[in-house]
Structure 1
């Protein structure tokens, strides 16, 4: 009789804990659902505008999380020994560049049309960190950066050189001059280390994008959201 009573009380306690857990879980999921509607899209891409930019006189490629690698490799012949050159501008809007990137965007667009006329014209592309925060985080890059990328067929190493642009003084001639004097690598900073998009340790072990999502989430989730998550986890462990 005593054993039956203890078993019944134990079962009742377990049921109560389970019901409390389900209640907290439902409340937490509901809050996350409401909060999720306010989160920015980490991979916004307009295929129509991208196609128009590529087909226009600028021949501009819009790079996103889903297409950047295949786009950069696309013009590379399988047996090529001379690298295909890319000029890629990293820009942003009000969130990542506070509206100060309009000048460099205009300069890059105008220079892209002129570069397309050169016999040794590079391929050109751009990344908007407002639209592609995960891609920017995975590259550990920010708005206002110009990349010179020398693409060779896989699995050859890829050389990437970065240069910060002056947001207030950059002109189309600035971009043209950078490209025409690209042999002088002292004006660039060679990209290496863990966040190298092709050869970095994070890319090799496919950790760059997951880490980028974590960094992005930490940047957009307010402090009260983090506190709520910690509180929910601590309750489940009790």
Structure 2
């Protein structure tokens, strides 16, 4: 009976997002789960409980995470007006995921971990900006950055200086283990600054300051390689055969 109340409560919380502030919503969600765990420890855990927790986390995360695409990525990866009031750069955690074609159907565990981590991070006193990129849906953007799922792109967006110049954006590409990743691993990237264990990326595919991005070549590059990935494996062989015969 106690677990059934949790199963009913979690989806309800995610549906009430417009009436209840996000932080209060998250606190209530975790408090209810804690009360049940403390008050009752069963000998066997029903399989529906983790499913309900995952569903609740996904519902809460969906209200706090900004979907990333070609139309809005420059805006999302720019310091917000709120960040201008705070000292130091603005932190962004971008989760990169996929499905059967881009992640070979192996991103489910990472997706569940991200949803739980995003719900926790959104409830902190100074939450980072959270975003999500699905390479199955926005393959051009993933190819622009040469980014494969599952992964976290961690950004520190600098403030614009008084002379209107903008310092370099610190970006770290953190590949996630598809079988062992946990919500704590993702949460601690921000709360314990474990992102610092990864060397900042400063190469060609840097989403903001890389050569492709600054010259505008990243978009055509992304489309070309997106099209090549969409091309059937037999088509290049036919084209090579056709060209070679014409040449001969």
TM-score by length of 2: 0.65
Deviations 1:74-96 (A, max 9, x none): 52556875111011111110111
Per-residue deviation, 1:230: 6.4
Alpha-carbon distance in 1 for matches of 2:174, 2:222 = 22
**Corresponding residue for 2:175?**
164
Call closer, same or farther: CA 1:80–1:176 in 2, change over 3 Å: closer
Matched residues, number: 184
1:179 and 2:184 aligned: no
Structure 1 residue 97 corresponds to structure 2 residue 103: yes
Asked if the contact 1:89–1:146 (Cα under 8 Å) also holds between the matched residues in 2, the reply is yes
Tell me which of 217, 235, 247 is aligned to 1:207: 217
Q: Which structure 1 residue ranges, 4+ long, deviate > 3 Å from structure 2?
A: 76-81, 223-237
Q: 8 Å contact 1:80–1:153 — kept in the other structure?
A: no
Structure 1 stretches of 5 or more lacking a match?
1-51
Question: What secondary structure sits across from 1:75 in the alignment?
Answer: coil
Displacement, 1:170?
Answer: 1.3
Distance 1:193 1:89 in 2: 20
Moved more, 107-116 or 170-179: 170-179
Contact 1:73 1:153 in 2 (8 A): no
Q: Which residue of 1 aligns with 2:70?
A: 65
Q: Answer whether contact 1:57 1:116 (CA < 8 A) is retained.
A: no
**1:216 aligned to which of 219, 222, 226:** 226
User: C-alpha distance in 2, partners of 1:104/1:63?
Assistant: 18
| CA distance 1:152–1:142, change in 2 (3 Å) | same
CA distance in 2 between counterparts of 1:90 and 1:134 reads 13
Look up the match of 1:141.
147
Q: State the 1:57 CA deviation.
A: 3.6
* Structure 1 residues 179 and 138: CA distance shift in structure 2, 3 A: same
Q: Contact 2:68–2:131 at 8 Å: present in 1 too?
A: yes
CA contact (8 A) 1:138 1:209 kept: yes
Q: In structure 1, how many angstroms separate the alpha carbons of the residues matched to 2:237 and 2:143?
A: 24
Residues in 2 aligned to 1:209 and 1:233: alpha-carbon distance in whole angstroms = 28
Maintained 8 Å contact 2:154/2:195:
no
The 5 Å alignment of 1:40-51 reads none
